[in-house]
């Protein structure tokens, strides 16, 4: 009985989080990064002040974990082409350029923290491999565009 | 006659390679389970179904074609190598799941007086065919990459599904035990 109630509470908290917060974020990838950022690096527990106030700390924690798993699932199952589009959208919504995103992300690899803790190592490796590839595609596109811009300049 | 002998020799060699790769894959699974999360095996619900969907993604040629059209040859080669490694790991995980299921079935079957020998032989044969197919699949993935192995993957997965069904039909308790094992594993992980 208690478990059933708890499940309903978690579902309500999930809907609340999706409606109030996640709906305002553009792109699945941005949502994934946002959800991962609510996790404490030391304890692995999620925390969201507003959600914990409206529900309870444990219900909020479970709801965020569940949303994080769903967001990760969507991203890990999308194609590299879709991932490239998501990264471009993410860069645009964070007021940065794709080239800046590629430069920083290749160095710091922050996408590694986007993986939920209970995910299989195979899914985690598949995800990071796809992100690295998507970044490489973005970089190739920029190089191509740069070369085309140079060749379009009138020769002295 | 000599052609037949060569064919027989080739068949035996392929069988040996498959069995060797099959054992090698199995050993790697047990090594991995020693220090990993061990969650590659199918779990009921969320992550378990992700594993099978992940298989479809790994073997899909769409990504390789896209990367080849967008990046250099070197990057495409690197991507293909990464996908091959992932596909081999995925295959090991599927085989590990099937092996676990068969082990659970054997454990329950030992104490069951109502066993049907014909069903057990059928199960044994299907398990052998699965081992053989997955061994060949391992070779094909390793040699040609995941996109070329996509069709054989479908066949292997159909066989794995058939094995799951047969273990359930032959001995429902065996399936129950397997599910219980997987459930307890998930509880321990969560």
User: Over the stretch A74-119, which tens digit does the pLDDT of each residue have?
Assistant: 999 999 999 999 999 999 888 778 888 888 988 898 899 999 988 8
A126 has a chain B CB within 8 A of its CB: yes
Q: Can you tell me the distance from the alpha carbon of B172 to that of B168, in angstroms, rounded to the nearest whole number?
A: 5
Q: Which chain B residues are Cβ-neighbours of A145 within 8 angstroms? A: none
- Confidence at residue B43, expressed as pLDDT on a 0 to 100 scale: 36
Give the pLDDT confidence score for residue B160 in this predicted structure: 72
Tell me, yes or no, whether B35 lies in a domain.
no
Query: Residue B61: inside a domain, yes or no?
Result: yes
pLDDT digits (tens, 9 = 90+) for B169-183: 665 544 444 444 344
Q: How far is B64 from chain A (nearest CA, A)?
A: 9
Cβ count within 10 A of residue A81 = 17
Write down the pLDDT at residue B26: 47
* In a domain? residue B34: no
- What's phi and psi for A25, nearest 5 deg? -90, 130
Closest CA to B14 of B121, B135, B102: B135
Q: How far apart are the two ends of chain B, measured CA to CA in Å?
A: 61
Which pLDDT value is given to residue B8? 55
Among A118, A119, A130, select the one facing B190 at the smallest CB separation: A118
Give the Cα separation of A139 and B183 in Å (integer). 44
Total of domains in chain B: 1
Q: Residue B38: what pLDDT?
A: 35
How far is B59 from B55, CA to CA, in rounded Å? 6
Closest-CA residue of B relative to A143 is: B71
| Both tokens assigned to A146 | 């740069």
B68: contact with A, CB 8 A cutoff:
no
Average pLDDT of the segment spanning A11-15? 93
Do the domain assignments include residue B156?
yes
Q: What is the pLDDT of residue B97?
A: 86
Q: Is A129 on the interface with B (CB under 8 A)?
A: yes
Output the average pLDDT for chain A. Answer: 89
> Predicted confidence band at A135 (pLDDT cuts at 50, 70, 90)?
very high
Please compute the mean of the pLDDT values over residues A55-81 and round it to a whole number: 94
- At A25 the pLDDT is 93
Neighbours of A57 (CB within 10 A): 14
Residue B36 lies in a domain: no
Which pLDDT score, from 0 to 100, does residue A23 have? 93
Residue A128 scores a pLDDT above 90: yes
Structural domain boundaries, residue B108? 2-29+42-189
What pLDDT, on the 0 to 100 scale, is given for residue B174? 45
Q: How far apart are the first and last CA of chain A?
A: 81
Contact (CB, 8 A) for A84 and B71: no
Residue A40, token pair as written in the block: 């404490």
Check residue B172 and give its pLDDT: 54
* Chain A residues within an 8 Å CB radius of B86: 122, 125-126, 129
pLDDT at A16 over 90: yes
* Under-70 pLDDT residues of chain B: 1-49, 167-190
Residue B141 lies in a domain: yes
Predicted structure pTM score: 0.73
Give the torsion through C-alpha atoms of B187, B55, B169, B172, to 10 deg.
Answer: -10
Choose between B163 and A121: higher pLDDT. A121
Chain B residues 81-110 within an 8 A CB cutoff of chain A:
82-83, 86, 89-90, 93
Q: Could you give the CA distance from residue A2 to residue A16 in angstroms, rounded to a whole number?
A: 21
Residue B69 contacts A, CB cutoff 8 Å: no
């Amino acid at each position: 009985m208690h478990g059933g109630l708890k499940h309903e509470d978690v579902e309500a908290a999930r809907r609340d989080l999706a409606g109030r917060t996640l709906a305002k974020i553009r792109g699945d990838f941005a949502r994934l990064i946002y959800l991962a950022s609510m996790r404490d690096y030391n304890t692995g527990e999620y925390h969201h002040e507003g959600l914990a106030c409206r529900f309870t700390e444990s219900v909020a924690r479970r709801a965020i974990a569940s949303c994080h798993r769903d967001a990760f699932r969507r991203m890990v199952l999308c194609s590299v082409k879709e991932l490239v589009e998501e990264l471009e959208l993410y860069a645009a919504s964070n007021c940065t350029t794709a080239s800046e995103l590629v430069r920083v992300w290749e160095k710091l690899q922050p996408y590694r923290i986007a993986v939920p803790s209970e995910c299989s190592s195979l899914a985690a490796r598949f995800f990071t491999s796809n992100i690295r590839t998507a970044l490489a595609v973005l970089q190739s596109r920029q190089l191509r565009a740069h070369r085309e811009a140079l060749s379009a300049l009138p020769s002295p | 006659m000599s052609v037949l002998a060569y064919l027989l020799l080739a068949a035996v060699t392929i069988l040996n390679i498959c069995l060797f790769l099959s054992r090698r894959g199995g050993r790697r699974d047990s090594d991995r389970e020693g220090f990993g999360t061990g969650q590659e095996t199918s779990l009921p619900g969320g992550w378990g179904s992700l594993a099978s969907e992940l298989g479809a993604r790994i073997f899909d040629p769409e990504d390789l074609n896209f990367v080849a059209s967008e990046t250099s040859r070197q990057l495409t080669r690197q991507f293909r190598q990464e996908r091959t490694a992932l596909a081999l790991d995925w295959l090991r995980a599927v085989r590990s799941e099937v092996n676990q299921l068969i082990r659970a079935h054997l454990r329950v079957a030992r104490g069951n007086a109502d066993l049907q020998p014909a069903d057990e032989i059928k199960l044994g044969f299907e398990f052998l065919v699965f081992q053989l197919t997955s061994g060949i699949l391992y070779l094909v993935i390793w040699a040609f990459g995941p996109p070329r192995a996509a069709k054989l993957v479908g066949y292997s997965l159909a066989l794995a599904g058939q094995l799951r069904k047969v273990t359930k039909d032959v001995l429902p308790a065996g399936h129950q035990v397997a599910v219980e094992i997987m459930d307890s594993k998930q509880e321990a992980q969560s």
